[in-house]
Structure 1
Amino acid sequence: MKDYLQVANDPWMWIMAVPVVVLTGIQGIIFAKKAFHVSEVKVVNLTREQCIKAFRVGAVSAVGPAVSVFIVMLGMMAVIGGPMSWLRLSIIGAAPTELTAATIGAKAMGIEFGSSEYGIKAYASSVWTMTLNGCGWLLFCGLFTHKLGAIKDKVAKGDTRLMGEICGAAILGTSGYLLTGHLLAGGARLWAGVAAAISMVILEIVSDKVPKLKEYNLGLAMIVGMIVAAVI
């Protein structure tokens, strides 16, 4: 029964989603201004040019993940409507997590996500599951983020170089963990990872001669991987 989509795409759903998405955008602007401010008052040893470069690198690197999120959002819109898909992926951005939560919510009602039996009750269950799943993250951040600084100081003991190496190791570990699952799955996912890795090596070699290309390497490698997966 697809009549539940009239509720899922109701104008009131869009109206309720808008404030949260707008607030997310405002937070992004505030964080960006704060970041530039601390460089201007010399709290950190960065010039404005370095801040702008870092901002540009982050924006370019976000293209790959943003495209994948957009593709998943199109699929979710067909099942849970536009407002909720837009809302959840705007504040969380983890498309696989949101899709999994929506699926679990449907299965809790004994119904397959997106099947012909998926109706208003299953839709409500999916929405509640996605929302409660996100609340756990927010509670943890709100209760424990301020304490992580003390943990960082105890681990690194003020050594900024050691902290940089720890953060680098953490990024390598999490990226490796996430990539391994795709490689073991085989098929298009395997070739996407291989293509992205090869393109990253080539881009690093090229960017040694063209330094301005270096800040775009990660985003370009992601896009190459997605193109290869789509072709396969």
Structure 2
Amino acid sequence: MKNFLDVANSWPMWLSVVPVVVAVLSEAFIFTKKAKEAGSLVGLDEKEANRAFKVGATAAIGPSLGVFIVMLGLMAAIGAPLSWQRLSIIGAAPTELAAANMAAKAQDVTLGADNYTLINYANATWVMALNGGAWLFTSGLFTDKLDIISHKVTGGDTKKLGILSVTAMCGAFGYFAVNEFIKGLAPDNHANIAAVVASALSMGVLTEIGKKYPKLNEFNLGLAMIIGMIAAIIVK
């Protein structure tokens, strides 16, 4: 079968994602306009509002670069057009990559492997779309009820809620990391182990550095991924 990346990076795919990206840009323009109009309600004149937007835009560069770095890995896995579309509406490359990995694992294949076909890729697009759709569905219908659920689960303790959220994420991504580590135990495949260990250690170091330089935290994930890739290349 034709390499799925030939289809994933084809011009019809680029055209298919443009409407979604245009819709997001339109929403951003509308929100910006409405926010400026509402500035007077909180005592901001036009000059102060423009300065506030400039500060916000500058502050967004760091997080955006972090997402961009992670997106490079996502592009290699699912192609550039879909990566552009997914990160335009979700903005969480690790979540999208996890969804693509889950789709591949459910079909008993490895994302991007030689036996990964166009059918596997098509299923991954559905999983990512349904994953994002579930967020929209939940936030649209149950946002007002989530506070009741979280209060019952945590007893109103915000620290418990934070711990629950972090442990859930650690469990999900730790599952993928352990799987890659186990694959690295096979002969001539130790690059997987190098990637997992190097990225984990670098994340620990970067987190400690981030305590002193908080702005660095926005880049931690992307930097850890790059360090893991470099380690894998060296071992390979």
- TM-score, normalised on structure 1? 0.68
Q: CA deviation at 1:229?
A: 7.9
Report the counterpart of residue 201 of structure 2 in structure 1: 187
Contact 1:192 1:229 in 2 (8 A): no
Match of 2:71 in 1: 73
Judge conservation of contact 1:193–1:225 (CA < 8 Å) in 2.
no
Residue in 2 aligned with 1:28? 28
Match of 1:166 in 2: none
* Per-residue deviation, residues 132-169 of structure 1 (Å, max 9, x unmatched): 00001111233245x58xx8xxxxxxxxxxxxxxxxx7
Higher alpha-carbon deviation: 62-71 or 15-24: 62-71
Aligned to 1:18: 18
Secondary structure at 1:93's aligned position in 2? coil
Give the drift of 1:226: 5.9
Specify every segment of 5 or more residues in structure 1 that has no aligned partner in the other structure, as ranges.
152-168, 201-217
- Counterpart contact for 2:67–2:222, Cα < 8 Å: no
Code of the aligned partner of 2:218? M
Aligned residue number for residue 129 of structure 1: 127
Q: TM-score when scaled to structure 2? A: 0.67
Write the distance in 2 (CA, Å) between the matches of 1:101 and 1:187.
24
CA RMSD of aligned residues (A): 3.5
- Write the letter of the residue equivalent to 1:39: G
CA distance 1:224–1:134, change in 2 (3 Å): closer
Candidates 117, 120, 137, aligned match of 1:119: 117
1:1-232 → structure 2 map (5 Å cutoff):
3-40=3-40, 42=41, 44-144=42-142, 147=144, 173=162, 177=166, 186-200=200-214, 218=215, 222-223=218-219
- Give the superposition deviation at 1:21: 0.3
Percent of residue pairs bearing the same amino acid type: 41
Gaps of 5+ in 2: 148-157, 174-198, 229-236
Asked whether the equivalents of residues 66 and 218 of structure 2 are also in contact (C-alpha less than 8 Å), the reply is no
CA distance in 2, matches of 1:100, 1:224: 18
Output the amino acid matched with 2:23. Answer: L
- Aligned partner letter, 1:7: V
Q: Give, in angstroms, the shift of residue 227 of structure 1.
A: 5.8
Specify whether residues 109 and 18 from structure 1 end up closer, same or farther in structure 2 by C-alpha distance, changes over 3 A only.
same
Correspondence for 1:209: none
Provide the aligned length of Structure 1 versus Structure 2. Answer: 190
* Residue of structure 2 in register with 1:205 after alignment: none
Compute the displacement of 1:49 (Å). Answer: 3.9
Deviation at 1:177, TM superposition (A): 4.0
Cα distance 1:226–1:67, how it changes in 2: closer, same or farther (>3 A)?
A: same
Which residue does 2:191 correspond to in 1?
none
Post-superposition offset of 1:223: 4.7
